């Protein structure tokens, strides 16, 4: 018999990873249709989060090795950066130099962690990394707040609910002895944002249809005049 603690430690994160991966692939399909970078950043963040959970599951079997710890924290940095870029573009705060800097920092994270382990500074490096990621998450929250000000009333309420759920999960997960809830907050965030992006894609397609119909009418009028 598998007890509840073992189920929560192994099966629950696996389910969350599967749901995040499914949402990530659905959003990636939206990106493929329109090649808009906004759903692209969200898809990368959700798929990276799913991979992060899958790699972290090996910790249930025993103490993780150095390579696994580097992979877990490197993927964590990648997820935070890509979701931050999504939030920045949603708030129209994104700049090319900022994108390059954030992606470069995420790419350098594994090398910095290996260097810290070699120098015996793993603990301080992790503490510094948590501080940097915490600051980036705060910027993402501010960007979402700005985006909410320009959204519809329903989307504002949805963003508020998703944000409160994320904060509650973060507070809950501060206790390492409990089963993490932050991945489920990520599932909620991904599902809500996927719905927002799907609506945007639908509205854009409808707008193109209206423009095409108006263009056809103008062409027909020109032909009639000739």
Long-range contacts of 117-125 (CB under 8 A, 24+ apart): 117/66, 117/70
Distance CA 156, CA 145 (A): 9
Distance CA 77, CA 84 (A): 10
For residue 186 the two structure tokens come to: 């990520």
33-73 confidence digits (pLDDT tens):
888 899 999 999 999 999 999 888 766 555 668 888 999 99
Q: What percent of the chain clears pLDDT 90, i.e. is strictly above it?
A: 43
Burial class (CB in 10 A: 0-12, 13-18, 19+), 179: middle
- Looking at residue 65, its pLDDT comes to 84
CB of 144 closer than 8 Å to CB of 165: no
Angle formed by the axes of helices 122-149 and 96-118, nearest 10°: 160
Give the pLDDT band of residue 1 (cuts 50, 70, 90).
very low
The least confident of 182-186, 189-193, 200-204 is: 200-204
Q: Which residues contact 219 (CB under 8 A, 6 or more apart)?
A: none
Which stretches does DSSP call E strand in the chain?
Answer: none
Number of neighbours of residue 69 by Cβ within 10 angstroms: 18
Mean of all residue pLDDT scores within the chain: 83
Distance CA 12, CA 8 (A): 5
Distance CA 135, CA 141 (A): 10
**What is the separation of C-alpha 87 from the centre of its chain, rounded to a whole number of angstroms?**
9
Tokens 């945007």 locate to: 200
- The mean pLDDT value for 19-31 works out to 94
- Looking at residue 71, its pLDDT comes to 92
CA nearest to 48, candidates 87, 26, 17:
17
The least confident of 25-34, 83-92, 137-146, 169-178 is: 169-178
121-138 confidence digits (pLDDT tens):
999 999 999 899 989 988
CA distances from 169 to 56, 93, 121, 123 (A): 18, 27, 29, 24
The pTM of the whole model exceeds 0.95: no
């Amino acid at each position: 018999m598998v007890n509840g603690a073992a189920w929560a430690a192994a099966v629950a994160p696996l389910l969350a990873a599967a749901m995040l991966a499914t949402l990530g692939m659905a959003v990636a399909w939206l990106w493929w249709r329109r090649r808009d970078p906004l759903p692209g950043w969200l898809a990368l963040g959700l798929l990276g989060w799913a991979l992060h959970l899958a790699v972290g599951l090996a910790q249930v079997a025993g103490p993780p090795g150095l390579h696994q710890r580097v992979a877990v924290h490197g993927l964590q940095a990648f997820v935070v950066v890509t979701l931050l870029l999504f939030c920045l573009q949603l708030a129209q705060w994104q700049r090319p130099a900022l994108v390059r800097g954030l992606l470069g920092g995420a790419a350098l994270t594994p090398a910095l962690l290996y260097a810290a382990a070699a120098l015996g500074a793993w603990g301080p490096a992790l503490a510094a990394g948590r501080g940097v990621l915490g600051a980036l998450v705060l910027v993402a929250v501010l960007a979402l707040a700005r985006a909410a000000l320009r959204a519809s009333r329903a989307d504002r309420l949805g963003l508020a609910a998703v944000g409160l759920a994320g904060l509650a999960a973060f507070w809950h997960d501060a206790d390492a002895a409990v089963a993490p809830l932050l991945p489920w907050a990520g599932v909620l965030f991904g599902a809500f944002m996927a719905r927002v992006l799907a609506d945007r894609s639908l509205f854009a397609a409808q707008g193109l249809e209206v423009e095409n119909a108006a263009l056809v009418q103008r062409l027909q009028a020109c032909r009639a005049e000739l």
